[in-house]
Structure 1
């Protein structure tokens, strides 16, 4: 077994680990000193795996994407591993039930959609530090089951697998765990072996919930190839109030623009808790440390300028400079000048239209029931005026507001 280093406090020599530590990315490492020594040499190759369960990743995946970005910025070579193979199995980590299994066509469509986001954060080219996007279906789809069990299954202890959080927590809650899902950690470990064999990759990175799976890969590489492999995990990021970062009342904060409008993405960052501004600037932007220190020291109403800076920087990374600029201009027109910014979410309706329908069409409410409830709570405004009648009809184009922070436009069909 590799030596384990949890919550490291050592002083790193490599600029890569210095940056990760200073910005809050490091939770655990398998061998901090060895990783630090390796990171001092050019060309450190590391990967993160992403299952293709949907057409977009969400902000919960940003930590891992930013880890790959930091690696490339410090002379390493990042691998974004698409889980075309493992998606057919389903990662049980953090889940009470089995994931819905997708067919090959759905997985391929999700992969094509997700790739667009990675091209925002990473540089894909043939240079020594150019990122690589791979799909583990390339080797997993070709496995011969009996041979695989003979060559690799014998290196896994079922006793030990049962202690892994992804399995143990499901069993403790008496939730079903299929044999298919039980194999997930074996396949993930095998991914690490294949990436080292084919490309020379020496490190796997991921969230803290992947620690057990990563350790299995490090151990399998040592047993099968005699390779010295490493693992590094990031902490679970929570908001200042203790809630899980990236979860909102409206649902997940998607990275793809066709899943979440640029305005809503910008607003997510603009509305973070005052106490989270500095942390999120370090984790999710490239802003220099001295500027972050200045911004997080602002107090009172001045902290809003730091939130705008965070929203602009985070949105520019994921959606582009134009999206960030337009969102900021829309916010200024909507809030400071009392207008209706052009990049607000819109829905086209035939007027007169029920306000309840308009709230659902614009995404301000998930259902008519929720819309009626919000109206009854006097949380809905039409063109700035509170409406408390659930039967209210909208006569023409209008700006709808839910609370102080969510807005949308209804226009004529």
Structure 2
């Protein structure tokens, strides 16, 4: 399959401008996708676009990732019910640096003619005066044309309206396409379906200003089968930055996908062939309770985003929390990584001196921490065999917990019942 056929099979084409597929069949084409620097990290929702660039490069074309240093100062109004807060230059610079680092881990920047590039539209806007811009760009796109865009109409019909700053966004994005078309022979812009209007403004600007031809392709916005937003949990966004979302949480996000969703995700978020995907789906359908698709997806994408070592930690954490795995894997982790492993699990800090001198387990669980509301309840559950320390059942209420019980000389993992875990941190 060629690039477009592959995207079509994966369900990744929403709109495509006539002539795009023919243009791509002629030889290497340069194409780009823009990334909005609203945070220091991209999240899983950005992966479909990142992987589209990777697929584009694998098909022999030249990918450019545009980080919006200039457009980030304005904020894209598309899909937003109200205007975003403007970022400071310091925040923007920090965000751009973080995003660029993430993009570099996926694309190939040293493979000859179709090596990837990262460009920043601030580079061509920083010395461009407002008067020059409205003379060079503003006169080629009419207000009528801009007002007809859905992103503009919806905001104008709302109570909050739209500022002139946001209104200019599509013109600036259109000029980006023109600049890359003129200076780097970029003929294709890709993006999410919500960007179709902005992208087409670029192709129209190229046609009107330079009588040139450019092309557009968008993919559907990813949604869950139940209609809820993809890429969010009760805890918020699932980020690519392991400091914001631990590899374990990242792995669990994909592992917990529904059967209906995972059949789409396995196509969108992996580079498996149609034959490989069809075989996995068939295997999954024979025994859905084994969650073959979810496990294959979670392992593949966690390895791709965070690396093999982080995947193994995520697997061992999962085995520990939901199976019969041991705590030994924690010994190879830093304190920060251990805390990350148990992110989302209740954590209690205790005075290190209490552990050094030895403390009875009942006092530890009911007084030093609030794992149990009272000593009586702690004793009762211990006597019933329902309490474990570091995966070993507590033999009785008189057991002493000391430095010998510390994992990494700092942590104790307490378990109440089968599924309730708590991390005790000695400081």
Aligned partners of 1:400 and 1:408 also within 8 Å = yes
Alignment CA distance shift 1:304-1:213 (3 Å): same
SS in 1 for 2:239: coil
State yes or no: 1:317 paired with 2:331: no
Could you list the runs of 5+ residues in structure 1 that have no partner in the other structure? 1-13, 357-380, 385-394
Output the CA distance in 2 between the equivalents of 1:255 and 1:195.
28
What pairs with 1:321-340 in structure 2 (closer than 5 Å)? Answer: 321-337=308-324
In the alignment, structure 1 residue 88 sits paired with structure 2 residue 73: yes
Q: How does 1:199-218 map to 2 (within 5 A)?
A: 199-218=184-203
Kept in 2: contact 1:278–1:293 (CA 8 A) = no
TM-score, with structure 2 as normaliser: 0.79
Which residue number in structure 1 is paired with residue 233 of structure 2? 248
Mapping 1:15-34, distance limit 5 Å = 15-31=2-18, 34=19
Question: C-alpha distance in 2, partners of 1:321/1:353?
Answer: 35
Alpha-carbon distance in 2 for matches of 1:93, 1:327 = 36
SS at match of 1:49: strand
Q: Cα 1:46–1:355, aligned 2, differ >3 Å: closer, same or farther?
A: farther
Q: Secondary structure at the match of 1:244?
A: coil
Separation of aligned partners in 1, 2:85 and 2:422: 33
Deviates more, 1:62-71 or 1:95-104: 95-104
Using the alignment, how far apart are the partners of 1:280 and 1:326 within structure 2? 23
The number of equivalent residue pairs is 364
Q: Which moved more, 1:69-78 or 1:336-345?
A: 336-345
How far apart are the structure 1 equivalents of 2:323 and 2:23?
51
Compare 292-301 and 187-196 and name the one that shifted more. 292-301
Q: Scaled by the length of structure 1, what TM-score is found?
A: 0.82
2:208 aligned counterpart, secondary structure: helix
Q: Deviations over 1:228-267 (max 9, x none)?
A: 1011111011112121211211101111112211111111
SS of the residue aligned with 1:52?
A: coil
Distance (Å, rounded) in 2 between the aligned partners of 1:264 and 1:85 = 33
Superimposed CA distance per residue, residues 163-195 of structure 1 (whole angstroms, 9 cap, x where no aligned partner): 212211112222231111111001000000001
Aligned to 1:161: 146
CA distance in 1, matches of 2:415, 2:155: 43
Alpha carbons 1:312, 1:325 under 8 Å: kept: no
Measured against aligned partners, the alpha-carbon deviations of 1:68-93 in whole angstroms (never above 9, x if no partner) come to 01101100110000000111111111
Q: Which residue of 1 aligns with 2:356?
A: none
Looking at structure 1, the residues matched to 31 and 131 of structure 2 have their Cα atoms a distance apart, in angstroms, of 30
Structure ID, larger Rg: 2
User: Does the CA contact (< 8 Å) of 2:348 and 2:424 recur in 1?
Assistant: yes
Displacement of 1:51 = 1.6
Q: What does 1:60-99 align with in structure 2 at a 5 Å threshold? A: 60-99=45-84
Residues in 1 aligned to 2:415 and 2:222: alpha-carbon distance in whole angstroms: 32
Q: Secondary structure at the match of 1:189?
A: helix
Q: For 1:105-254, list aligned pairs within 5 A.
A: 105-125=90-110, 127-254=112-239
- Displacement, 1:321? 2.0
CA distance in 1, matches of 2:369, 2:186: 58
Q: Which residue number corresponds to residue 278 of structure 2? A: 293
- Aligned equivalent of 1:349: 349
